A and B are shown apart, each in its own frame.
Chain A
Amino acid sequence: MDYKDYYSILEVERTATQDEIKRSYKKLARKYHPDVSKQADAEVRFKEVGEAYSVLKDPEKRAAYDQLGANWKSGQDFNPPPDWDAGFEFTGAGFNEADAADYSDFFSSLFGQGFGSSHRGRAQQGQRARGEDHHAKVAINIEDAYNGATRSINLQSPEIDHSGHVYLKQRTLNIKIPKGVKQGQHIRLSGQGTPGMGDAPAGDLYLEIEFNPHSIYRVDGHDVYLDLPITPWEAALGATVKTPTPTGSVDLKIAEGTANGKKLRLKGRGIPAKSPGDLYVVTKITIPPANTEEAKQLYREMKEKLAYNPRSSLGV
């Protein structure tokens, strides 16, 4: 298992005061919060920072961690020395077990089962309560939103075994993604959350839809955008050009004198839904390279014959 340098994760010196650690944690937690940050690894970083803080904010755990020594590097293969925590007294307070299930193996080997002595009891016997709802994200492609799809997703959820220890339970669900979904929408799977207690119903599973980035399309709600490269003569003279759409290519009419960046709307060709979105084709005029004598000659001819000053509006 890999050693984790909690100090470098929290961007503090090993000699940092508890206040410095707290300030740095708060700053990094805001920076990497998955709802705030757009960074791809934000969620991982956020958890890492939370794990580091749960150790360093607690003077007992920090002292035990420090005892491992300062010579370890993050990522280095690590096994805790036997009886490494002998001689320390722990109150077992400080972290919530449900969160701890998300923490690294490194964390669990040091502070996991048996470290803190008090395990939260799940529930009193004879209680009756609806199970908790679970949440997960499912990433789909734009084409899946047009056609519908079936996705197999792996879920891990912390469970508590008979002896009161937290472990990660794995399960696989095959889920139908209906067509017409959009970014951020949820699919609710009744009864797929935590089982209820007593004869109470199980919780639900909520899946949040996320689109994988596509090489040519962009999605905004139910609308889809495509950049369409066109030549200067197609833009100037008008043309009919082949254009890809998520449902197959179409012939698109470019009007005479089309400007760069013009949005052409293909009504109803966005993501299908009760009120289907539109497909917007954004024109990108691209310039052919002057890499042959013939091409150069054509450009020279244009220069001579077209009295065109693109900077006239600038007054020069």
Chain B
Amino acid sequence: MNQSILQGTLIDEQVELSMDDLCCACSITSEWIFELVEEGVIEPINPDQEQWVFTASSLGRAKTAARLKRDLNINTAGIALALDLLEQIQVLEARLGQTSGFVDD
């Protein structure tokens, strides 16, 4: 058994992800990334340049988007809406957690 300890890279706000990184990490095509950007699901840091780069939050959103497309067959506009609503739920749940004890499932 492999006992050595692996140290990875924490993808925090300082890490920039290239188009290729995003494609590989989410198993999606660059064409679909263009669609996601067009729909406002993810935003490159440098929209005006030729080689787009993305932040860590785009990784999470693109991954969820890819799963929603694959599993539920939702189109890009629907994915954009679902992600926005899911994010709102998260904000509301966090607010509940701040003031009134634990959020029950």
Contacts and interface: CB of A to CB of B under 8 A. Distances in A.
Nearest to A220: B94
A174 B24 contact: no
A181 B10 CA distance: 8
A263 B98 contact: yes
Chain A: interface size category: 35 or more
Contact of A204 (B5, B25, B97): B25
B9 interface: yes
B71 to A, nearest CB: 6
A242 interface: no
A282 B11 contact: no
Interface string B90-105: 0000100111011001
Given A174-B5, A175-B5, A206 B60 contact: no
Nearest to A182: B12
Contact of A178 (B10, B98, B101, B102): B10
A298 B76 CA distance: 65
B1 to A, nearest CB: 6
B49 interface: no
B51 interface: no
Contacts of B59: 186, 206
Contacts of A282: 98-99
A207 B56 CA distance: 13
A40 B105 contact: yes
B11 A186 contact: yes
Interface residues of B, number: 34
Interface in A199-215: 203-208, 213
Given A186-B60, A263-B98, A175 B6 contact: yes
Interface in A165-219: 171-176, 178, 180-181, 184-190, 192, 203-208, 213, 218
Interface string B1-16: 1111111111110100
A294 interface: no
Contact of B105 (A39, A180, A221): A39
Contact of A133 (B8, B27, B98): B27
Given A132-B27, A184-B60, A189-B8, A172 B98 contact: no
A175 B4 CA distance: 9
A181 to B, nearest CB: 6
Nearest to A30: B72
B68 interface: yes
A204 to B, nearest CB: 7
Contact of B24 (A33, A50, A133, A189): A133
Nearest to A26: B72
Interface of B: 1-12, 14, 24-25, 27, 56, 59-60, 63-64, 67-68, 71-72, 82, 86, 94, 97-99, 101-102, 105
Question: Top 6 closest A-B pairs, CB basis?
Answer: A187-B8, A189-B8, A186-B11, A220-B94, A176-B7, A174-B5
Given A132-B27, A175-B8, A206-B11, 14 more contacts: A29-B71, A33-B71, A133-B24, A133-B27, A175-B5, A176-B7, A176-B8, A180-B10, A186-B56, A206-B25, A220-B97, A225-B98, A280-B98, A282-B98
Interface of A: 26, 29-30, 33-36, 38-40, 46, 50, 130, 132-133, 135, 150, 171-176, 178, 180-181, 184-190, 192, 203-208, 213, 218, 220-221, 225, 227, 261, 263, 273-274, 280, 282
30 contacts: A26-B72, A29-B72, A33-B68, A33-B71, A33-B72, A35-B64, A40-B105, A50-B71, A133-B24, A133-B25, A135-B63, A172-B1, A173-B2, A173-B6, A174-B4, A174-B5, A176-B5, A180-B10, A181-B10, A184-B60, A185-B10, A187-B11, A188-B9, A188-B11, A192-B6, A203-B24, A204-B24, A205-B8, A218-B98, A261-B99
